[in-house]
Amino acid sequence: MSLWDRLTGEFIDVIDWTTDDGDTMVWRFERYGNEIKHGAKLTVREGQAAVFVNEGQVADVFPPGLYMLETNNLPILSTMQAWDHGFQSPFKAEIYFVSLKQFTDLKWGTKNPVMLRDPDFGPTRLRAFGTYAIRVEDPTVFLREIVGTDGEFTTGEIEGQLRNIIVSRFSNAIASSHIPVLDLAANYDDLGKFAGVKIGEEMTEYGLTLTKLLVENVSLPPEVEKAMDRRTQMGVIGDLHKYTQFQAAESMRAAAENPGEGGGAASAGIGAGIGMAMGGMMGNVMGAGAAGGNVIAPPPLPSGKQWHVGIGGQTSGPFDGQAVAGMARDGRLTRDTLVWTAGMEGWERAGAVSDLAQMFGATPPPLPPES
């Protein structure tokens, strides 16, 4: 190889960008003095674009491929003639590599709750968070509006601004959607698409496109979530009256199985309280029957006894307890009616028999004579 070939070989650039950094969006090709030689080879790989800036202006944007740069930026001949200037070329050029891949798993979330009016809960506050993905759509606009002369631009430098845009537009979308809070989980996809259209329009001003917006969660304030949990528990319990009876029965069973726990007085107090509660429930049921005008029937007699009744001077029967109670209700059996059953020495008045006396109401004593 001749000396001339060696000299010309030193001036030939191979310009490319290979990196495994997942968050770098723009990288400037570094060359001493920004001197891009005439005939330099530019390699642009898939998922990249190269922006050629010559003398401070965007000259061209190169898609993926292999290119030979033939410009007036320091030709070899001018370099050989510029020894008196210390090899400093008056022509400057820069190459910016722009990544065109999708940048995924970028986070967004509301810093402050979003106020809205819900048909079920009224005025309430919501918080939301999720992820999004972007891609550079127009390298020239992105370089001019966002990157500037930054030699290495990463997603961290623009995430804050994009997050503010997403939260602002999403807040408007969720407030104007009029979707009830309880139905939001079933509409995450539609809500993300609706908000994504508005957000995407604004991102085009930066040379970006929003490829995906995911809503991962929309949450209520903790106090509202606790109230919803209690409401759900009531729905699971169902009939509150039956549930109270069940709880009382369970407490009585537990007290019977553990009479020593808490002391006898405590157990007695629990039993008394449960008895009063159950007595109150029974009183309410009986009171409701009386309010409706129904006559309270006496309790049935033991079905084992058979009663003979003297009606009109003749013996009738035998009758079981339910039949005798029915005769007392319709007036055929009174306190003075004679009755007899096995085990009695003779006929007695029904009002004097303890098993039958309970069927007759208390009779007030006679009024005192007027003075």
| Predicted local confidence at residue 24, as pLDDT | 93
Specify the higher pLDDT residue, 293 or 167: 167
Q: Give the Cα separation of 47 and 22 in Å (integer).
A: 12
| Predicted local confidence at residue 6, as pLDDT | 42
| Predicted local confidence at residue 297, as pLDDT | 52
55 pLDDT more than 80: no
Side-chain half-sphere exposure of 111, counting CA atoms within 13 A:
6
| HEC letters along the chain | CCHHHHHHHHCCCEECCCCCCCCEEEEECCCHHHCCCCCEEEEECCCEEEEEEECCEEEEEECCEEEEECCCCCCHHHHHCCHHHCCCCCCCEEEEEEECCCEEEEEEECCCCEEEEECCCEEEEEEEEEEEEEEECCHHHHHHHHHCCCCEEEHHHCHHHHHHHHHHHHHHHHHHCCCCHHHHHHHHHHHHHHHHHHHHHHHHHHCEEEEEEEEEEEECCHHHHHHHHHHHHHHHHCCHHHHHHHHHHHHHHHHHHCCCCCCHHHHHHHHHHHHHHHHHHHHHHHHHHHHCCCCCCCCCCCCCCCEEEEECCEEEEEECHHHHHHHHHCCCCCCCCEEECCCCCCCEEHHHCHHHHCCCCCCCCCCCCCC
CATH 3.40.50.720 fits 103-224, yes or no: no
Full-model pTM: 0.54
**pLDDT > 90 in the chain, percent:** 18
Specify the higher pLDDT residue, 201 or 90: 201
| Predicted local confidence at residue 90, as pLDDT | 41
Q: Tens digit of pLDDT for each residue in 99-111?
A: 999 999 999 998 8
45 pLDDT more than 60: yes
Q: Which amino acid is at 205?
A: E
72 pLDDT more than 70: no
Q: Tens digit of pLDDT for each residue in 261-304?
A: 555 544 555 555 555 555 555 555 444 444 444 444 555 555 56
pLDDT-derived band at 329, boundaries 50, 70, 90: confident
| Predicted local confidence at residue 157, as pLDDT | 93
116 pLDDT more than 90: no
Lowest mean pLDDT across 55-59, 75-79, 140-144: 75-79
Specify the higher pLDDT residue, 191 or 233: 191
Lowest mean pLDDT across 94-108, 241-255, 257-271: 257-271
| Predicted local confidence at residue 275, as pLDDT | 53
pLDDT-derived band at 9, boundaries 50, 70, 90: very low
Q: Where are the domains of the chain?
A: 3-99, 103-224, 307-357
Specify the higher pLDDT residue, 76 or 113: 113
The stretch 30-47 carries a mean pLDDT of 78
Kindly report the average pLDDT of the chain as a whole number: 75
Task: Give CA 3 to chain center in angstroms.
Answer: 75
The stretch 60-83 carries a mean pLDDT of 60
84 pLDDT more than 90: no
pLDDT-derived band at 54, boundaries 50, 70, 90: confident
